[in-house]
Amino acid sequence: MYDAGKIITGIVIFLILMTVPIWYVVATGQASYVPDPKVNPDETQCVESTDYMIKNHMVLLDEWKTSCVRDGICTWVASDGETYNTSLAGTCLSSCHPSKAEFCDQCHSYVGIKPYCWNCHISGE
Amino acid sequence: MEVDRRGFIKIAGLVVAGLAIPPVFNVFSSTEMPKTLDSETLAEAKWAMVVKLENCKDGCTDCIDACHSIHNVPDFGNPKDEIKWIWTDPYEHVFPEQQSEFTEESLKEKPVLVLCNHCDNAPCTRVCPVKATWKREDGIVMMDFHRCIGCRFCMSACPYGSRSFNWRDPREYIKETNPDFPTRTKGVVEKCNFCAERLRDGLIPACVEACKDNSLVFGNLEDPNSEVSKLIAANYTLRRHSGLGTEPKVYYLRQDSTHA
């Protein structure tokens, strides 16, 4: 191979530059960061199980939105038979998840998504 | 195994038929009822409003203030960007067909309250390409701000100018936000919703509640004993551009002869 030294050095420099973001995150300790959404400790009952909500809260909120805005039905019956108002601000944020920054934004910022709910809905912050 | 052409076609046919079993089974074994509006929530109403011109005081903005504060209507401070839910226009502009050079002076300049007419035959709902605006069972022409793409076809279609477009983010231009009602966002059309969110809670529209001079009456046209039905039946009323066939549901009353 001609110029093996230059080429190998170049490849090594290239690999280091490419992986800088990984090293940087590891070095600054951000790699071990885990989102920690905070709920009001006084409230123990969500509309559905935590596992279901983690996976499906966006689907549920979308269904709430559709039934309330389009069909005018602004109540919803949970799987345990309890009836709730289909209101993000009124039902979810009012007491159980009072802080958008400490609850919603924890995971949303972590995974880099920006739901546009808050362009119109008022979080109180 | 030797498979001739005939045998192959038979097997292929059976396989295709077999694929159809699960969907057919699902349809017939389903216990869930198809989603429909239940009779309780299906509105048995046809909402309408009567504006009594003689009662409406010049310079009073109680109804406008009430509406704009609860619905987070922004004030951009210039007429080009103005967001209108309920506002006033001179009589001669509101009823150009009624106006002549001999119309009494006091009436010509009189500010007349105007809002979305919630037309029975609403042209705005027909042109919306994404069904972001539609007519509810109770006659309210609703907006789904989530779905609006901001094409403004509805604004062109509305003969009353009842729809406004958010050219900018309205948040900063709202004096005091009401957290119970969403604001709008840039690129969305908005208009009066006949206080659909208040009707749901059994309240009358905010403008009607705020009017101290009994100038606004709200009610159900399906009910012959409602005040609006009685007023419209007993008096000469006007509707804006009624010749267009939009069938507005905001009626204007010059003089209430029933309480004269």
Q: List domains and CATH numbers for chain B.
A: 47-259 (3.30.70.20)
User: Would you call A120 and B177 a contact, using CB atoms and an 8 Å cutoff?
Assistant: no
In this structure, are A47 and A81 located in the same domain?
Answer: yes
Q: Is residue A58 part of a domain?
A: yes
Q: Is residue A125 part of a domain?
A: no
Classified as helix, coil or strand, B132 is coil
CB-nearest to A122 from B37, B146, B179 is B179
Tokens of B231: 């007023």
Contact B135, B125 (CB under 8 A): yes
User: Would you call B43 and A72 a contact, using CB atoms and an 8 Å cutoff?
Assistant: yes
In this structure, are A56 and A113 located in the same domain?
Answer: yes
In this structure, are A84 and A96 located in the same domain?
Answer: yes
Q: Is residue A15 part of a domain?
A: yes
pLDDT in tens, chain B (260 residues): 678 899 999 999 999 998 988 888 777 765 544 333 333 434 578 999 999 998 999 889 999 999 999 999 999 999 999 999 999 999 999 999 888 888 888 888 899 999 999 999 999 999 999 999 999 988 999 999 999 999 999 999 999 999 999 999 999 999 999 988 999 999 999 999 999 999 988 899 999 999 999 999 999 999 899 999 999 999 999 999 999 999 999 999 988 777 64
- State chain A's maximal CA–CA distance in angstroms: 76
Residue type, B230: K
In this structure, are A57 and A116 located in the same domain?
Answer: yes
List CB contacts (< 8 A) between B183 and chain A.
120, 122
List CB contacts (< 8 A) between A65 and chain B.
146
Q: Is residue A29 part of a domain?
A: yes
Residue A125 pLDDT = 66
Spatial CB neighbours of B4, under 8 Å, sequence gap ≥ 6: none
Contact B238, B91 (CB under 8 A): no
A residues 4-63 lying closer than 8 A (beta carbon) to B: none
List CB contacts (< 8 A) between A124 and chain B.
179
List CB contacts (< 8 A) between A86 and chain B.
none
Q: Is residue A99 part of a domain?
A: yes
Residue type, A90: G
- Please tell me which residue of chain B has the smallest CA distance to A72: B41
Residue B98 pLDDT = 87
- Distance separating alpha carbons of residues B47 and B59, to the nearest angstrom: 27
Q: ∠A86-A92-A97 over CA atoms, to 5°?
A: 175
Among candidate residues B138, B153, B159, the one with its CA nearest the CA of residue B189: B153
In angstroms, what separates the C-alpha of A62 from chain B's closest C-alpha?
10
Residue B162 pLDDT = 96
- Distance separating alpha carbons of residues B188 and B144, to the nearest angstrom: 10
Residue B256 pLDDT = 75
User: Would you call A89 and B180 a contact, using CB atoms and an 8 Å cutoff?
Assistant: yes
Residue B180 pLDDT = 87
Mutate to test the interface with B, among A70, A91, A93 (most CBs of B within 10 A): A70
pLDDT digits (tens, 9 = 90+) for A13-36: 999 999 999 888 888 877 778 888
In this structure, are A112 and A65 located in the same domain?
Answer: yes
In this structure, are A63 and A20 located in the same domain?
Answer: no
Q: Where are the beta strands (DSSP E) in chain B?
A: 47-52, 86-90, 111-115, 133-135, 141-143, 164-165, 189-190, 216-220, 237-238, 250-253
In this structure, are A46 and A23 located in the same domain?
Answer: no
DSSP per position, B201-212: TT---HHHHH-T
Q: Is residue A50 part of a domain?
A: yes
In this structure, are A25 and A83 located in the same domain?
Answer: no
In this structure, are A57 and A21 located in the same domain?
Answer: no
In this structure, are A69 and A87 located in the same domain?
Answer: yes
Query: How many domains are there within chain A?
Result: 2
List CB contacts (< 8 A) between A70 and chain B.
134, 144
Q: Is residue A46 part of a domain?
A: yes
The residue range of the domain holding A53 is: 35-120
Helix (H) or strand (E) holding A83: strand A83-85
CB-nearest to B144 from A69, A74, A119 is A69
In this structure, are A21 and A75 located in the same domain?
Answer: no
Q: Which residues in chain A come in under a pLDDT of 50?
A: none
In this structure, are A59 and A98 located in the same domain?
Answer: yes
Does the global pTM surpass 0.90?
A: no
